[in-house]
Amino acid sequence: MTARRILVTDGEQRAALAVVRSLGKAGHHVQVCSTRGRSLAGASRFSRGESRVPDALAGAERFSDSIVALARKDRIEVLLPITDASLLALLPERERLSGICVPFADAETHRAISDKGRLLEIAQSLGISVPEQRRINAPDEWGEIDPGSLIFPIVLKPSRSVADSGNGLVKLSVRHASSASQLQDRIKSLDAAAYPLLVQQRIIGPGSGIFILLWDDELLATFAHRRIREKPPSGGVSVYRESIPADPKLVALSRALLAHFAWRGVAMIEYKVDAASGKQYLMEINGRFWGSLQLATDSGVDFPAQLVAAALGENPAPVSDYRIGVRSRWWWGDVDHLLARVRRSNQALALPPGAPSRLGAVRDFLAIWRPGDRNEILRLEDPAPFWLETTEWFRGR
């Protein structure tokens, strides 16, 4: 392996920290940039330096100008955008980034796979189970919907996680409604950028993920995990999760879906398992590194190193065997989950029937360690990111 000069964006993200640790351990010269003076990934001993850049959400053009200049100044050979906002800003800039490897799909393909409504339509045509849904393109279309025709509970999901509000990019979130009156309240609070909006059947059950690296139609890495706890508790980023065997059928279906887009790079294919039937429903695809990336590395699948090696023509051997039953806990995210559970009722949190009680949530949290558990951020060989995150967590109280 030849050591490369690599720039990782969005250093405040946990995925960025996992990428920096992976590639730094592999011997690469890894630099970090973020909107902060000091970031989670920048604090890692595997980061060779950190630069401050504008926020991609606030202004894509200023952000991309800054990244192009930084990459040229520091002779960067590989650029790894981490968030959707960074990818949306940088993927259209390949001409200005000529000579720099950006191992992700092109801008048009990334936008296509990020459209959740269209993605589920394509998935259904390929025989993949998807939630029932309606698409609302604009607020005035709600007048055409009879609330009595909807089967509650439902999920209101923007078709894109990041959208253009007209004044920059905005991150959009999912809302839940358990009744017609609650639906009306949710509609009133929606940002105009949330449209087109998907009105989806809510699948009650645990989340699972299939993680794949495809390069030139070759499957170079496969991994799977199940979500144990999330933030917010009703469904969001995983804060406690466990590696599980990758279901061969789901891997094959996920690969077929990615092939439809001629996908090249990493992807997280998110499913939900219906608790009543055991049926797996596709939720979405994230065509980027994901928040729980460290779990895959801890289990034996090093996606960042595999991706960089493949993109640079080093022909890495495919990896599909890994340790099962490894659990990873994002400590402060799990604390936030617990605080939400203790402070608010199950109904206020939009939790499904059968969710653990407050006492049950406390009991689950206090099972602090079991064989195979790993703390996602705190590592004895690289403790600084955890202490930085701890300081920021207390400052935010």
The domain spanning residue 31 has which CATH number? 3.40.50.20
**Beta strand 154-158 pairing with 175-177:** antiparallel
Residue 272 inside a domain? The answer is yes
Q: Is 352 found in the same domain as 316?
A: no
pLDDT of 209 reads: 93
Dihedral (Cα; 42, 46, 51, 57), 10-degree rounding: -60
Q: Is 258 found in the same domain as 147?
A: no
| List of the chain residues with pLDDT < 70 | none
Q: Is 338 found in the same domain as 312?
A: no
Q: From residue 183, give the alpha-carbon distance in Å to each of 39, 144, 186, 354, 381.
A: 38, 15, 5, 22, 49
Q: Is 378 found in the same domain as 266?
A: no
Short-list 176, 173, 164, CA closest to 202: 176
Instruction: Say how far apart CA 354 and CA 275 lie, in whole Å.
Output: 10
Strand arrangement of the beta sheet that strand 5-8 belongs to: 50-52, 29-34, 5-8, 78-80
Residue 129 inside a domain? The answer is no
Short-list 327, 336, 307, CA closest to 319: 307
Q: Is 344 found in the same domain as 318?
A: no
Q: Is 295 found in the same domain as 268?
A: yes
Domain count, the chain: 4
For helices 107-114 and 116-125, the axis angle rounded to 10 degrees is 80
pLDDT of 146 reads: 81
pLDDT of 6 reads: 99
Instruction: Say how far apart CA 28 and CA 92 lie, in whole Å.
Output: 26
Q: Is 169 found in the same domain as 64?
A: no
Q: Is 285 found in the same domain as 362?
A: no
The C-alpha angle with vertex 57 and arms to 15 and 213, in degrees rounded to 5, equals 35
Q: Extract the tokens encoding 125.
A: 């045509």
**Beta strand 327-329 pairing with 373-375:** parallel
Residue 247 belongs to what domain range?
207-328
Boundary residue ending a domain (201, 234, 253): 201
Q: Is 337 found in the same domain as 379?
A: yes
Residue keyed to tokens 């720039």: 7
pLDDT of 285 reads: 96
Give the distance from CA 37 to its chain's centroid.
24
